[in-house]
């Protein structure tokens, strides 16, 4: 099984879109639960790590956000 490396501030692409239509999310908190923020509408969601790891599609390399 592949070990994915992601951290605070990384932007990830999820398998299914948010109702607003956005696929990209920024990781804002790490722990047993992971808090992510939609890059399109700024809605924040907390997911258990297990659900987050199932729903993530890929990590977007250096998106250029500051």
Would you say residue 50 lies in a domain? yes
Reduced to 3 states, what is the DSSP secondary structure of residue 53? Answer: helix
Examine the pLDDT at 66 and tell me if it is beyond 60. no
Would you say residue 3 lies in a domain? no
Would you say residue 2 lies in a domain? no
The boundaries of the domain holding residue 32 are 11-60
Domain tally, the chain: 1
Contact 58, 13 (CB under 8 A): yes
Would you say residue 29 lies in a domain? yes
Examine the pLDDT at 1 and tell me if it is beyond 80. no
Phi, psi of 19 (to 5 degrees): -55, -25
pLDDT, one tens digit per residue, over 14-64 is: 999 999 999 999 999 999 999 999 999 999 999 999 999 999 999 998 755
Which carries the bigger pLDDT value, residue 4 or residue 59? 59
- Whole-number pLDDT of residue 5: 84
Please count the other Cβ atoms lying within 10 Å of the Cβ belonging to residue 18.
17
Strand partners of residue 11: 26, 60
Would you say residue 23 lies in a domain? yes
Mean pLDDT of the 1-14 span: 83
Would you say residue 49 lies in a domain? yes
């Amino acid at each position: 099984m592949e070990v994915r490396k992601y951290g605070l501030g990384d932007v990830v692409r999820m398998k299914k879109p948010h109702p607003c239509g956005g696929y990209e999310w920024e990781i804002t908190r790490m722990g047993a639960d992971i808090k992510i923020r939609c890059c399109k509408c700024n809605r924040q969601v907390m997911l258990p790590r297990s659900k987050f790891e199932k729903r993530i599609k890929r990590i977007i390399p250096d998106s250029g956000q500051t």
